[in-house]
Amino acid sequence: MTSYVSKFDREPGLAPEARFPVVALASSAGGLNALFQVLGPLPADLPAAVLVAQHQQPDRPSRLPQLLDARTPLTVRAARDGDTMEKGTVLVTPPGYHLLVVSDNRIGLIGVGERALPPRPTADMMLATLAVTCGPRALAVVLTGVGTDAQSGTRAITCCGGRALAQDEATSVHFGMPGAAISTGEVDKVLPLTEIAKEIQTYATALNEEQPGSGCEAS
């Protein structure tokens, strides 16, 4: 049987310095302000890549990357199919697409289609693919939002050796997504919105120093 290979060249045997942490932020209703408060305090030299899945209407232009870029020292831009993840860079899933982590340090985008059901983009798909490609280098952060998106993804992240944070109910505009993640029993810390950036920076720094291998087998 021929094994599956993505359309992007996989990069096996990455040098240890390339195995940096990846932080994935999932949000929905109320997420814009939450993303401002999480990304705003993070330093430009954050030793981690950041991915964002914020639910958006697929048929409307989005200024989310520009809005976030104006509020954080990190580099922020809309994700493009085949992008390489980099330290200090935030890749925002564009409307009308789902983001997949397709290899140790590369992402891909797939269109959701006009009849695709919400949530769009789905955090579960982003987190599950991040889990199996980056294993213990992954940190999921579930922010305010309606529904249960990111619940299965949280399980995937911790199953493969990563960690998960969730916003607490008191600071969430909508507690659906964080509450669903917390209900798995797999969330490491439940934090007020104002404390999440500090926890990300602390954890990313520690992970970067450890430089673990990639994939679930390294957990």
What would the pLDDT profile of 134-174 be if each residue is shown by its tens digit?
A: 999 999 999 999 999 999 999 999 999 999 999 999 999 99
What pLDDT is stored for residue 120 in this prediction? 82
Please spell the DSSP secondary structure of 183-206, one letter per residue: TTT--SEEE-HHHHHHHHHHHHHH
User: What 3-state DSSP class applies to 4?
Assistant: coil
| E strand residue ranges, the chain | 22-27, 49-54, 75-78, 89-92, 97-103, 106-111, 138-142, 163-167, 189-191
Give every CB contact of residue 87 below 8 A, 6+ residues apart in sequence.
20, 45, 46, 47, 48, 49
Name the residues annotated as catalytic.
28, 55, 149
What pLDDT is stored for residue 116 in this prediction? 62
What pLDDT is stored for residue 1 in this prediction? 36
Q: Which sequence spans correspond to the domains of the chain?
A: 19-208
pLDDT < 50 regions, the chain: 1-5, 8-10, 12-13, 16, 212-219
What pLDDT is stored for residue 209 in this prediction? 76
Is the domain 19-208 a CATH 3.40.50.180 member? yes
Give every CB contact of residue 161 below 8 A, 6+ residues apart in sequence.
135, 136, 212, 216, 218, 219
What pLDDT is stored for residue 18 in this prediction? 57
> By C-alpha distance, which of 62, 60, 96 is closest to 76?
62
Cα dihedral sign, 50-53-54-56: positive
What pLDDT is stored for residue 89 in this prediction? 98
What pLDDT is stored for residue 58 in this prediction? 81
Separation CA 80–CA 99 (nearest Å): 9
